[in-house]
Amino acid sequence: MKMQAALWYGPEQIKIEEVEVPTIGPDEVLVKIGTALTCGTDFKLFRQGHALLVKDVPSPFGHELAGTISEVGSAVEHRFQVGDRVVAANSAPCDYCFFCDRQQFNLCENLEFLNGAYAEYIRIPAQIVRRNLYTIPDFLSFREAALTEPLACVLHCAERMALKADETLCIIGAGTCGLLFTQLAKLNGTRVIVLGRGEEKLNVAKELGADHIISIQQEGYQEEIKSLTNGYGPDKVIDVVGQPHTWELATELVRKGGQVWFYGGCPKETKVTLDTHRLHYGEISCHGVFHHTPHYFAKSLEMIAERQIKTKPLIGGEARLSDLNQIFQKGMAGNPLKIAVIP
Ligand SMILES: [Zn+2]
Ligand SMILES: [Zn+2]
């Protein structure tokens, strides 16, 4: 059987091609994609490839998905049946390596990333079937469910940050993850300053509860953030952009004794310059945080199903798989809201 799938051939080159529908092993599941969501990571991959995600060229891509099970391997547990509506994570830990032993599942040495959501069907590998595949309630749309993966990443970081109600958090970046951070922080009662680019997204941040929105393109934004925090700076700053200069900015904005969280991954082999004096005498602590774990994936789906998170404002439109090239070309200029891609 044949299907349509998007393949990445190199920087800014994707083609929609007819390929074989994947065949599944006894521990695997075949899912007919209902919706795939575009993600900042996909835009990065489109422009420059991706160290972890691209193994061979041409490479399938897309990793936020929900759909319907169309085939179940003979050895898969009974909880999955053909016709079930499901959401799958883009990875799952092995449960036996050094890091899994230490419960640091997101650092698992055998994380196998699932790519290929921009297609009609996708094969879900055994590890993900076992640990990170969930049926979704009937009332949840595919596009809502497909937000489980990005929210799981944000939830993982937000819980490690242990946000408190009497704190001020500055979020650098008003893309989807920045908007998800805004919502989680507001659920905790934390005061939120969103520093971003693009009026449209900043307004969405405001709509989702941000106490202050500030354009990074506006002169004097650093002073403005200072004045909003009694001259000290925010208690916590998170970078959601993933550029060396925004990482550096995060360490400059935070107050003495505050925490910086690096959520956005920078391009490979980049370095940052830090003010050692400020880090030491100001006791700035910096934390890297990456990806999600099965615990957060499950919790994320729960929160979406309970409608604790507003999903509608995060999705900017809908398109067909055949329009994918256009979407990515257009998205090059900024970091647009998500698009729901329907095969
Ligand atoms: Zn993503
Ligand atoms: Zn492992």
Q: What is the pLDDT of residues 317-342, one digit of tens each?
A: 999 999 999 999 887 666 678 999 99
129 and 229 belong to one structural domain:
no
181 and 216 belong to one structural domain:
yes
Residue 16, domain member (yes or no): yes
**Main-chain dihedrals φ then ψ at residue 130, nearest 5 degrees:** -70, -40
Domain boundary among 273, 288, 303: 288
Q: Which ligand has the nearest atom to the CA of 110?
A: 2
Q: What is the 110 CA–ligand 2 centroid distance (Å)?
A: 5
Residue 300, domain member (yes or no): no
Q: What is the 197 CA–ligand 1 centroid distance (Å)?
A: 20
Domain count for the chain, please give it. Answer: 2
Residue-level pLDDT at 217: 94
Query: Bridge partners of 172?
Result: 195, 239
172 and 109 belong to one structural domain:
no
Residue 306, domain member (yes or no): no
Q: Which ligand has the nearest atom to the CA of 176?
A: 1
Which residue in this structure is represented by tokens 């391009």?
267
10 and 107 belong to one structural domain:
yes
How far, CA to CA in Å, does 312 sit from each of 45, 120, 220, 330, 339? 25, 24, 32, 21, 11
Residue-level pLDDT at 52: 75
Q: What is the 180 CA–ligand 2 centroid distance (Å)?
A: 27
Residue 273, domain member (yes or no): yes
| Residue span of the structural domain in which 269 resides | 160-288
* Burial of 28 (C-beta count, 10 Å sphere; 0-12/13-18/19+): buried
- For residue 42, what are the contacts with CB-CB under 8 A and spacing of at least 6? 61, 62, 63, 328
From the list 131, 125, 162, the residue with the least C-alpha distance to 289 is 162
Residue-level pLDDT at 333: 61
Instruction: Give the predicted TM-score (pTM) of the model.
Output: 0.95
170 and 274 belong to one structural domain:
yes
110 and 24 belong to one structural domain:
yes
Residue-level pLDDT at 22: 97
130 and 12 belong to one structural domain:
yes
Residue 70, domain member (yes or no): yes
pLDDT along the chain (343 residues), means of 10: 95 95 98 96 86 85 97 94 97 97 97 94 97 97 98 98 96 96 97 94 96 96 98 98 96 98 92 97 98 98 97 93 90 76 96
Residue 155, domain member (yes or no): no
Query: Bridge partners of 37?
Result: 64, 340
Q: What is the 220 CA–ligand 1 centroid distance (Å)?
A: 32
Q: What is the 149 CA–ligand 1 centroid distance (Å)?
A: 6
Q: Which ligand has the nearest atom to the CA of 107?
A: 2
Residue-level pLDDT at 51: 72
Residue-level pLDDT at 335: 61
Residue-level pLDDT at 238: 98
Q: Which ligand has the nearest atom to the CA of 149?
A: 1
Instruction: Tell me the CATH number at 7.
Output: 3.90.180.10
Instruction: Tell me the CATH number at 211.
Output: 3.40.50.720
Residue-level pLDDT at 334: 64
258 and 318 belong to one structural domain:
no
Residue 211, domain member (yes or no): yes
